[in-house]
A and B are shown apart, each in its own frame.
Chain A
């Protein structure tokens, strides 16, 4: 479980806080989408849960973050990294810089955890397989395309089997097919009970995958509710977020009244527009 209480944080070189007055409880097994424009505080929120704040970044902090009831500020990063894994926005930053092949790169974290050879091999094979990158296991990580690198970065975190997985725009460099593949992996991980927090601009994907959405704007939580409630909220554009194109299409046709539950996926929209047509004709 993750609990943030009255959490405020300002990076030392910045004038205003990156996060302000954040109160948040995330239960085990939840899959939460984090929305907001660039600069809204999504990455900072991930850093705070991961412990990079306060252990790595300098700044002013008030309030508290607890992971599994332990205050993050008092835990060491090595202990944290056994519970929480984070896939960074820029995949190149995730590389150890010391490994010459993809499979060695993915095994790097396991080596640091002193995992037995046999289990290490199994886990690396599993991670390569689940991300569809077994074919490039012998390649040099520095010679990969952006999309391939992004999958290697995800694999290198998944292989550690964290209970909590934080992903910062994990599909930004991927084409639609690659994006779909990563989301399939996330759905699989959800079934395995892993807690997922996903910062993402692709609302259509979040609408399909998440149980709850949080919108950040200028460091504050604007909304924290079900995907339907958040994506149908009339203030969504003011927070720098656009509803899924299906929701927009439904709204343009039906002009729903305030508070009506709007469709957010393709399937729901087809159903609702068919119903609307029938009601119109009937």
Chain B
């Protein structure tokens, strides 16, 4: 598979001698990847490096085969969009529509194209009826979705979500999960930093565990969540269904209700 983003032996320190990332190597291809780990594991730092907001202290990052050092910030923005954890770091326009049109205009879309993309992104996030409102008159959860819409409107190849599930109710969670699945179907590279293991298990096909500035594990949910040792090192708790399956001594690791129910029936309720 075509690797859009390649991280090669990257180290990064905010202060000399205090490495937050240690010779980390990883590649991201189209699909939905969850990056999990404790607060302080280096997740957000890695994402800022991918977005070009930080430069590696050592090693290099390539986007589309080219070193990010050769890109301008605007060029990276065409390839990689990042949705911040705190939407209020991102939102500054006085109407929702202006906010969502801002990014597309900055990367050179025509006003008509920017508006069309912005309206489509707002519709995808259930925000059409508030396009004229001031973002700061809306709830925090709505502002989080505005942050997502404003990146989607720029139509980048890779989209980084930093903690998208915070403060979302069930409908908001499903909406964000759906959007990730749609982006995947469009061939986009989606990377999400998550603390919500149930969400990661449900919507992500690849799980990367990060701890102490390095990758501990990288694989499909059923593989990564089945390994207690990795989870312990990353300070992450397995999703509820994985723990339930383990306690009931199911041989398969299941991450959705349907999978669990099927596995329980096959393993426990068959005539033998």
Contact = CB atoms under 8 A, between A and B. Distances in A.
B247 A176 contact: no
Nearest to B265: A253
A146 B268 contact: no
A253 B243 contact: no
B171 A169 contact: no
Contacts of A245: 198, 239-241, 257
A175 B244 CA distance: 21
B195 A249 contact: no
Contacts, number: 87
A280 B39 CA distance: 45
Given A176-B195, A177-B38, A273-B248, A249 B261 contact: yes
Interface string B232-260: 00011101110110011000000001101
Contacts of B85: 146
Interface in B190-219: 195, 197-198
A38 B247 contact: no
Interface in A237-259: 237, 240-242, 244-246, 248-249, 252-253
A201 interface: yes
A37 B86 CA distance: 20
Interface in A30-74: 36-39
A147 interface: yes
A38 B172 contact: yes
Interface string B111-136: 00000000000000000000000000
A89 B236 contact: no
A11 B236 CA distance: 42
B257 A252 contact: yes
Contacts of B172: 38
Given A90-B140, A177-B235, A37 B169 contact: yes
Given A245-B198, A252-B257, A273 B264 contact: yes
Given A253-B261, A273-B264, A173 B244 contact: no
B140 A89 contact: yes
Nearest to A42: B169
Question: Which secondary structure dominates chain B's binding surface?
Answer: helix
A269 interface: yes
A38 B139 contact: yes
Nearest to B254: A249
Contacts of B237: 176-177
A274 B248 contact: yes
Contacts of A273: 244, 248, 264, 268
B167 interface: yes
A244 B261 contact: no
Interface string A160-173: 00000000010011
Interface string A122-159: 00000000000000000000000111000000000000
A37 B169 CA distance: 5
Given A266-B244, A274-B248, A175 B171 contact: no
Given A38-B169, A172-B167, A177-B38, A249 B236 contact: no
Contacts of A237: 170
Contact of A277 (B141, B241, B244, B269): B269
A145 B39 contact: yes
A241 B169 CA distance: 8
A172 B39 contact: no
A29 interface: no
Given A146-B86, A175-B38, A266-B243, A201 B168 contact: yes
Interface of A: 36-39, 89-90, 145-147, 169, 172-178, 201, 204, 237, 240-242, 244-246, 248-249, 252-253, 266, 269-270, 273-274, 277, 280
8 contacts: A37-B169, A172-B167, A173-B166, A245-B240, A246-B244, A249-B257, A273-B244, A273-B248
